[in-house]
A and B are shown apart, each in its own frame.
Chain A
C-alpha cells in the first residue's frame, strides 16, 4: 500500500508557464517532505523540502505548498524552463527533520517543458 502517491505519471508544460506537480500521502506521522529531481542515467538530486510546521517554502523558481488537512503537497515551478525536464519524486519522512535515510518515495512524475 503506497504511503506517498504521485498520481500523474507525466506532465507537459510550455516554457515560461507554471508547472504544478502534485503529491498525496496517507501517513499522518510524516513530518518532513522533500522533492527530488532525476535526470536520465543520474541519481536523484535534492530540490526543496518543507517541514510539517510550515505550509509553504520557496527557493527561487521552486515553491512547495503543504496542506496537512488534505495530506497533499505540491511543487510549483515558475517560470518553467526546458532544463527542468526531468522526473520529479516526492518523498516523506516520519523520523524528524528529513535528515535520516529512510525516506518514502512516490513513483515520480515525468515533467516535459517544451520550448
Chain B
C-alpha cells in the first residue's frame, strides 16, 4: 500500500509565527486530506487538498489560517498561520488508496 512521508514530526513554535507541514506520497493520489487532533479529542478534518484547484475547507476552518498547497498528485503542504497556543495539536495528512491512510503526524506545540 502507499506510504506518506510527513515532516516535521514535531516542532515547538512561538505564538504569532507560522509553520509549514509537508507531505509526500510515494504514489499518485487524487485527493489528499488534512486532519487535526487536539489533545483528548478526535481527529477532525480541516480540508481536502485538490490538485489544480483551491482546497475545500470544513466548517470552522479558513484558508487564511490554514493555507494549503497541492502542486501535484504526490505532494501537499499545510501552513498553520499566526499561531496561538490553541493551535497546539497533532496535524495529520492523509490520502485514499482504497481506504484512508495517514502520514505519521506532526506534533505542534505553540508557546
Contacts and interface: CB of A to CB of B under 8 A. Distances in A.
B43 A89 contact: yes
Nearest to A9: B40
Q: How large is the interface on B (under 10, 10 to 19, 20 to 34, 35 or more residues)?
A: 20 to 34
Contacts of B105: 41-43
A108 B45 CA distance: 16
Nearest to A46: B99
B77 interface: no
B75 interface: no
A100 B96 contact: yes
A43 B99 contact: no
A41 B42 contact: no
Contacts of A91: 43
B45 A103 contact: yes
A83 interface: no
A34 interface: yes
Interface of A: 2, 4, 34, 41-46, 49, 89, 91, 98-108
